[in-house]
């Protein structure tokens, strides 16, 4: 039923294997169509796979195990932290090595790599935040290096014929510029945080738009604009996600997010689009099948 198109390994590892197993069992019970474990580091793909494999192995019911194995997919990518930007050449080599080993392992997940990313541009300056983003770190070399790291991964996605998961925060013009320069338009703008005109430009190029829990606590002064945006994105281009452990939806705002909380985002967006939750689930499931070639 509920499709969670985005959740992070870091959330599982925070509380250990028992916690991760519990989430996977709940998702299987809810008949989730897709759980996409998204990469953010050049060297995290194999460790994320191993952790989830251990979580699934701890499940006693064989049918539930099978559901989890069928549900879970992976992406691999490099989030634009400053160190990765500065060491982008070696990071890309490591990313390629991880992908090659992942696909050659011959285990149940070896053909479950369905996307490159998340990767892109982030110009939200919050030095005291979890990602320590500081404008002072972004001199000309880092700024251009960030664009280059993004473009390098877009080219990798083209080479592997995989969709791309774009991270773009306070960086719309540069994001669009890099995408247009590369000419690769196959993927999703994750946790979309721009307006309707920006959405239109991405949609015109062929991109999907994904909404997370943040839409449920839009400021009252912007709610009409948000509602219009949620209705504007066509049925064949919309995805929903959690971005756990971040952006927990109302009524859980301020807590650590979990993939199982995506139900609240479905409830909120289905009301704004004037469709049933079941209908919205079917729409998103269909889009996942198409985008991720499932």
- List pLDDT tens digits, range 105-132: 999 999 999 999 999 999 999 888 777 8
The arithmetic mean of pLDDT across residues 85-112, rounded, is: 97
Residue 112 known to bind ligand: no
pLDDT for 77 beyond 50: yes
- The CA distance from 69 to 137, in Å, is 41
Q: How many CB atoms lie within 10 A of CB 251?
A: 10
Is 243 marked within a binding site?
yes
Q: Is 170 annotated as a binding residue?
A: no
What distance in Å separates the CA atoms of residue 278 and residue 124, rounded to the nearest whole number?
Answer: 35
The whole-angstrom separation of Cα 49 and Cα 72 is 10
**Average pLDDT of span 48-71:** 95
Task: Give 9's pLDDT tier (boundaries 50, 70, 90).
Answer: very low
Q: Provide the pLDDT confidence category of residue 6 given band limits of 50, 70 and 90.
A: low
Taking alpha carbons only, the member of 228, 231, 226 closest to residue 250 is: 226
Measured CA angle at 150 (ends 207, 103), to 5 deg: 85
Question: What gap in Å lies between CA 20 and CA 17, rounded to an integer?
Answer: 5
Q: Is 123 labelled as part of a ligand binding site? A: no
Q: What is the mean pLDDT of residues 194-216?
A: 97
> How many CB atoms neighbour CB 287 within 10 A?
22
Average pLDDT, the chain: 93
* pLDDT recorded at residue 128: 81
- H/E stretch holding 221 reads none
> Does pLDDT of 10 surpass 50?
no
- Tell me the CATH number of domain 4-291, given options 1.10.3720.10, 1.10.10.10, 1.10.540.10, 3.20.20.140: 3.20.20.140
Pairing of strands 35-37, 4-7: parallel
Alpha carbons 263 and 91: distance in angstroms, whole number: 36
- Average pLDDT value for residue range 200-205: 98
pLDDT of residue 146: 98
CA distance 73 to 143: 32
In this predicted structure, the answer to whether residue 210 has a pLDDT above a threshold of 90 is yes
Say how many Å lie between the first and final Cα of the chain, rounded: 16
User: Residue 8 is encoded by which pair of tokens?
Assistant: 């992070």
Mean pLDDT of 97-103: 98
DSSP β-ladder status, 4-7 and 164-169: unpaired
Residue labelled with tokens 């699934």: 56
pLDDT (0 to 100) of residue 132: 82
Q: What is the pTM of this model?
A: 0.95
């Amino acid at each position: 039923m509920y499709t969670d198109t985005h959740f992070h390994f870091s959330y599982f590892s925070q509380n250990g294997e028992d916690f991760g197993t519990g989430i996977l069992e709940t998702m299987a019970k809810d008949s989730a169509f897709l759980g996409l474990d998204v990469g953010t580091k050049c060297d995290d793909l194999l460790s994320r796979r191993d952790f989830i494999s251990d979580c699934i192995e701890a499940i006693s019911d064989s049918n539930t195990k099978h559901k989890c194995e069928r549900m879970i997919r992976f992406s691999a990518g490099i989030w634009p932290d400053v160190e990765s930007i500065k060491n982008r050449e070696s990071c890309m080599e490591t990313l390629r090595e991880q992908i090659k080993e992942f696909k050659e392992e011959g285990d149940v997940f070896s053909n479950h790599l369905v996307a490159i990313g998340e990767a892109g541009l982030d110009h939200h300056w919050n030095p005291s935040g979890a990602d320590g983003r500081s404008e002072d770190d972004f001199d000309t070399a880092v700024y251009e290096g960030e664009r280059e790291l993004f473009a390098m991964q877009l080219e990798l996605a083209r080479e592997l014929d995989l969709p791309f998961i774009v991270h773009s925060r306070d960086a719309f013009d540069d994001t669009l510029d890099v995408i247009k320069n590369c000419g690769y338009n196959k993927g999703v703008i994750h946790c979309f945080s721009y307006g309707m005109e920006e959405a239109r430009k991405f949609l015109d190029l062929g991109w999907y738009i994904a909404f997370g829990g943040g839409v449920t606590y839009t400021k009252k002064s912007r709610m009409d604009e948000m509602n219009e945006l949620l209705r504007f994105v066509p049925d064949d281009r919309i995805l929903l996600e959690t971005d756990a452990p971040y952006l927990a939806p109302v009524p859980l705002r301020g807590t650590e997010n979990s993939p199982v909380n995506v139900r609240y985002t479905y409830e909120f967006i289905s009301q704004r689009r004037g469709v049933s939750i079941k209908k919205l689930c079917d729409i998103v499931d269909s889009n996942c099948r198409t985008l991720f070639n499932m």
